[in-house]
Amino acid sequence: MIEKLESIERRQEEILSELASGEIQGDPKHMADLMKEQAELSPIMDVYEKYKEARKTEEDSLLLMSGEEDGEMKAMLKEEYAASKKEQESLTEKLRILLLPKDPNDHRNVIVEIRAGAGGDEAALFAAEIYRMYVRYADRRGWRTEMISLNENGLGGFRECTFMISGEGAYLRLKYESGTHRVQRVPETESGGRIHTSTVTVAVLPEAEEVDVEIDPKDCRIDVFRATGNGGQCVNTTDSAVRLTHIPTGIVISCQDEKSQLKNRAKAMKVLRSKLFFMKSQEQQDKRSDLRRSQIGTGDRSEKIRTYNFGQGRVTDHRIHLTLHKIDSILDGDLDELIDSLTAYDQAQKLSSENKEQEEK
């Protein structure tokens, strides 16, 4: 680990030296790349500096103790030595987490798909609530949201909804939200007061760029139709809606949110590109089966990940057995405690997997 940290330290010095030189001023792209790399290395180096200080304190305390005869001073040095050892252990753990391989998609924007599952209209109503939960979370973090496609049920619920969240680290924070979200509550339409269980599925896809996935136009069939549902002038009176079918995979994407057929087509292609990119990423992860087993699920819609129980006011994440009794604030976008816990759990699993690999070597 120390060798790796020293290598990163040398790289940081090279970057700072290059940024300070006047030669780079004429190449703004290279400068931006260096600044981005520097921003990624800085958190590691900040902790490493503290680690080195704690290690020096330990060495100094040990040296002074060996030549100290005063009992009170020796006891003080022992305390300092023990504290520095404890701090090093804590900092070592932080460094190991910081040095874990990063998901290359963590910086990307995300495309979120929400679909009502079992439960009819009640599931559609909850799908709309889940959508608002993510929009509010995005607002809290200063991210931007954009609707791509929406299919409503006429009661304020969403049968299907696809939207984009744009902001640095969106995928990093939201990638564990994919899966089945279950709601348990008494619907407003239930006269007998019985608790119903409904489900909503969520898929979080990293946004793909054109360079990430090459799509042959011959593999796509595009149909246009008249949009339905809420809409202003031109939306429901012209053939502006687009249905895109990717023939090799059978993926079908409908988009009717924009008045322009061209804009709807562009949005549909963006979703298709992200779906294909995600499928490709999952195939690569599946080949690395050990890593796949060590991770929290981040893509399977069938995996039940969370229950929202209104009667008990609780939200339970089944993957990490975490229950929080604050359902109202969570549905209002207060997701950080859940996401932080999922991230910590995933990091612990990866560290455990890494330790096993080292022991086997």
> Residue 226: which CATH number?
3.30.70.1660
Domain boundary among 64, 98, 132: 98
Q: What pLDDT, on the 0 to 100 scale, is given for residue 322? A: 96
135 and 63, same structural domain? no
170 and 44, same structural domain? no
- The position carrying tokens 């290598």 is 7
Contact 15/41 with Cβ under 8 angstroms? yes
231 and 210, same structural domain? yes
**Cα→Cα distances 176→113, 258, 287, 296, 338, Å:** 14, 29, 20, 7, 10
| Lowest mean per-residue pLDDT among 19-23, 137-141, 313-317 | 19-23
Domain boundary among 63, 98, 133: 98
Query: Has residue 360 been placed in a domain?
Result: no
Contact 274/288 with Cβ under 8 angstroms? no
| Lowest mean per-residue pLDDT among 13-22, 139-148, 236-245, 318-327 | 236-245
**Domain, as residue range, for 179:** 110-348
DSSP per-residue letters across 181-229: EEEEE--TT-TT---EEEEEEEEEEEPPPTTT----GGGEEEEEE---S
Query: Has residue 357 been placed in a domain?
Result: no
Q: Enter the pTM of the model.
A: 0.75
Q: Could you give the number of structural domains in the chain? A: 2
- 131-141 pLDDT, tens digit per residue, is 999 999 999 99
In sequence order, the 6+-apart residues with CB closer than 8 A to the CB of 100 are 347, 350, 351, 354
How far is Cα 69 from Cα 12, in angstroms, rounded to an integer?
Answer: 43
Q: What pLDDT, on the 0 to 100 scale, is given for residue 68? A: 67
Q: What pLDDT, on the 0 to 100 scale, is given for residue 361? A: 61
Q: What pLDDT, on the 0 to 100 scale, is given for residue 128? A: 95
297 and 163, same structural domain? yes
Average predicted confidence (pLDDT) for the chain: 84
136 and 80, same structural domain? no
pLDDT tier at 328, thresholds 50, 70, 90: very high
Q: Is the pLDDT of residue 25 over 80?
A: no
Q: What pLDDT, on the 0 to 100 scale, is given for residue 317? A: 96
pLDDT tier at 164, thresholds 50, 70, 90: very high
pLDDT tier at 174, thresholds 50, 70, 90: very high
Query: Has residue 193 been placed in a domain?
Result: yes
128 and 58, same structural domain? no
Domain boundary among 98, 125, 149: 98
Output the CA angle 322-324-327, nearest 5 degrees. Answer: 135
Q: Is the pLDDT of residue 151 over 90?
A: no
Q: Is the pLDDT of residue 189 over 80?
A: no
Q: What pLDDT, on the 0 to 100 scale, is given for residue 96? A: 86
- The position carrying tokens 């504290």 is 83
